[in-house]
Amino acid sequence: MKIGIIGAGLAGLSCAITLEKHGYDVDVFERRGMVGDRFVIAEAMFSMFQYPFDDGVKLLSETYDIHLKPSSNIQKLFCYSKNERCEMEGHLGFTNMRGKHPEAYEKQLADQFKGTIHYNYDASYDQIAKQYTHVVLATGDPSDSMKLQPFDTAFRASFKGAVITGSFDESEAHAFFDNDFAPKGMAYLLPHSDHEASLVLVYPQYPENEGLDKEVLWKKCVEECSKKLDQDFEILNEYEVKDYRIGKTESSRIGNTFFIGNCWGAITPVFGFGQFESMLTGIYAAHDIIGIGNYEKLVQPLYQGYHDSLTLRRRVEGLDNKQLDRLIKMLQNKYVEELITNKNINIFKWSAKILHPFSRKA
């Protein structure tokens, strides 16, 4: 058995580490010169969206022997609409770093992989498929999956973000819902430290949004977020991404080719994070190759979570600013907050059931 993994991101490295722990040799190919060779950004793993797992970091460590050190624990989540604010408390999840940050998750995974990562190697699927019995596609780019099978695109997104300086509490996360600067989207602020944070604006590229000036929206975003947190931000490194594809593959496996991470469709549509799901797809693919699991069956709950998340997103997208105000005001109710943060309840599933009574096919 000869295994080749194309891509040294979260999914590809999780797959490689798992195979290696079970005694398998694996070749990992990365087109860039290092892991995490992109802009620095903070992301979040919210426990409330990982049902039935109440702690993703604990699960990865105790069940799969993959050990991650988050940047901080999230104890408070503040959600803002144009005129309202709500606050949720508890152990809500973790903040982690990505990209060129020295403590980025992808760098932590690379340190745990004892094998060789072939950097600056732009491996094509056709080339690797001829040389290896099993191929794991983990490039992070759904367009690579589309060369081999249909990819159901829910929407494409535009990102504009920056590292900012200010005064922050590392245990807090902030999410902003305001169609004036995030049409059918959101902005979020996640601290890196007590004086630096990531501020990110993301919205879907629907036809009605195509004519909008991203720089104008970004300026409004920074102004409104500064006002909500009652402080002035200094913008350091800015970055932007267009045509970021959110969707899922038709098949998780074709022959001995496995699609994992973003090549599978690990991004949850409602908030756009997918680190935990990406790592699980890598682990599950490895378990199938090893012979201790069935990849197509293992990812079924992840497929269902994607559909439920998309249903919730479609509903929120239809809300105007007044309706978003009412939603955030409703979340101020302590019973609603307890329902959302209850780790024994699948909030995606039940929200989707209420909004879309007839189940979607996973």
Domain boundaries, the chain: 3-355
Closest to 66 in 3D by CA, of 140, 7, 11: 11
Average pLDDT, the chain: 91
Residue 358 has pLDDT above 70, yes or no: no
Residue 8 has pLDDT above 80, yes or no: yes
The single-letter code of the amino acid at 182 is: A
Highest average pLDDT, of 49-58, 128-137, 310-319, 327-336, comes from 128-137
> What's the pLDDT tens digit per position in 177-210?
999 999 999 999 999 999 999 999 999 999 999 8
* C-alpha pair distances (Å), 246 with each of 87, 155, 224, 265: 28, 6, 27, 7
Q: Is 230 exposed, middle or buried (0-12, 13-18, 19+ CB in 10 A)?
A: exposed
Give residue 361's pLDDT band: very low, low, confident or very high (50, 70, 90): very low
Peptide bond preceding 52 in cis form (omega within 30 of 0): yes
Residue 255 has pLDDT above 90, yes or no: yes
Q: Find out whether 226 and 232 touch, Cβ atoms under 8 Å.
A: yes
> Tokens at residue 77, please?
């989540």
Residue 356 has pLDDT above 70, yes or no: no
Q: Considering only 50-64, 152-166, 170-184, 328-342, which range has the smallest mean pLDDT?
A: 328-342
> What's the pLDDT tens digit per position in 258-283?
999 999 999 988 877 899 999 999 99
Tell me phi and psi for residue 277, to 5 degrees. Answer: -65, -40
Q: Find out whether 167 and 195 touch, Cβ atoms under 8 Å.
A: yes
The single-letter code of the amino acid at 78 is: F
- Say which residue, 132 or 341, is predicted with more confidence: 132
Q: What is the largest CA-CA distance in the chain?
A: 59
| C-beta neighbour count of 314 within 10 angstroms | 17
- pTM (predicted TM-score): 0.93
Give residue 357's pLDDT band: very low, low, confident or very high (50, 70, 90): very low
Q: 3-355 has which CATH code?
A: 3.50.50.60
Report pLDDT for 315.
87
Report pLDDT for 341.
66
Give residue 355's pLDDT band: very low, low, confident or very high (50, 70, 90): very low
Give residue 60's pLDDT band: very low, low, confident or very high (50, 70, 90): very high
